[in-house]
Amino acid sequence: MLCVEVDAKGDLARALGASASSFQPKVVQPNVSVLGLHAEESLQEYLRIYFKVPRFTRLTPLAKVFEFIATGLPGTSDMLVIGKIAYEAKRTDGGRPVWDLIIVDSAATGHVLPQLGAARAMMDLARGGIVRSQVEWIDAILSDPRRSLLTICALPEEMPVSEALDLHDRVKAETTIGLGACFLNRVFPVGVTARQLHALEELCAEPHLDAARERLGGDPRPVLEGDRLAQRLHDTGAAHARRLRAGMSVPVVEIPLQTTARPGLSTTRAVAAALRAASS
């Protein structure tokens, strides 16, 4: 499996227990590799494969031209990102696909549609040449729901849920890309009812507070403050999950909030376990 991060900041590599990603796929876990995309390197690789242009140093005038094309021309970097992913999807070794599955950590919600639509946009611009045939096969890979699916991630808050629903509707209306699932991340996992909260409120009031402190070995009032917030987070999360389910044509999978000390492999494993539990 290949995990791809489109901005090469290294967050995905760190989540998989590696220090950083690079443009060359790096094995980070058994059967899991990670790749960080750079538009400039994608262009260099493209030219090397299709035009036998040798790798050049950053100091040459030609390098400056390609750096400009990769990073300066609007849309080129989107095209290079999508093109590299499609190339990896197509790559074979001994007649077998190199990767069984490619998972892409895509651009932010507002950027993802134009990125996914870059091949279509390029098809409108380029009517001939190599690029035309290449964007056609890129578009074919993206448009085939047996090969590519878009999953939508959201947080249990008003705006991210609105954005997720908006993205869902636009993907269906404006693209040929299939939708797989919606992941609702960081759902507060423990609900507290008003009745349960009431018992704690009573315990925190006179004449019970001193006895409660002694029996519990600590102050119950911060617990009450936390539980009030927990109730709000849980209830609004549940409402958002209902809203998502009502508006989505694909399954909505809830992933509980993780409280590990810092993000990394342990958090990733916990999320993976939650996903396994949700799908079983």
Q: Select from 12, 21, 69, 93 the least CA-distant residue to 267.
A: 12
With CB under 8 A as the contact rule, the residue among 143, 175, 176, 236 that binds another protein is: 236
Of 32 and 223, nearer to another protein (C-beta) is: 223
Between CA 62 and CA 137 the distance in angstroms is: 28
Between CA 26 and CA 35 the distance in angstroms is: 7
CB 120 within 8 A of CB 21: no
Of 24 and 193, nearer to another protein (C-beta) is: 193
CB of 117 to another protein, least distance (A): 7
With CB under 8 A as the contact rule, the residue among 20, 98, 103, 131 that binds another protein is: 131
Binding to another protein by residue 192, rule CB under 8 A? yes
CB of 199 to another protein, least distance (A): 5
Residues 141-170 binding another protein (CB under 8 A) are 155, 157-160, 162-163, 166
Between CA 164 and CA 157 the distance in angstroms is: 11
Between CA 257 and CA 274 the distance in angstroms is: 10
Q: What Å distances lie between residue 26 and 32, 59, 104, 157, 201, CA to CA?
A: 8, 27, 15, 35, 54
With CB under 8 A as the contact rule, the residue among 1, 27, 73, 273 that binds another protein is: 73
Between CA 266 and CA 105 the distance in angstroms is: 19
With CB under 8 A as the contact rule, the residue among 49, 101, 229, 273 that binds another protein is: 229
Binding to another protein by residue 129, rule CB under 8 A? yes
Binding to another protein by residue 54, rule CB under 8 A? no
Binding to another protein by residue 21, rule CB under 8 A? no
Q: What Å distances lie between residue 108 and 54, 112, 141, 164, CA to CA?
A: 34, 6, 22, 11
Q: Select from 242, 247, 253, 83 the least CA-distant residue to 151.
A: 253
Of 1 and 73, nearer to another protein (C-beta) is: 73
CB of 209 to another protein, least distance (A): 11
Between CA 260 and CA 263 the distance in angstroms is: 7
Of 99 and 200, nearer to another protein (C-beta) is: 200
Binding to another protein by residue 243, rule CB under 8 A? no
Binding to another protein by residue 190, rule CB under 8 A? yes
Binding to another protein by residue 75, rule CB under 8 A? yes
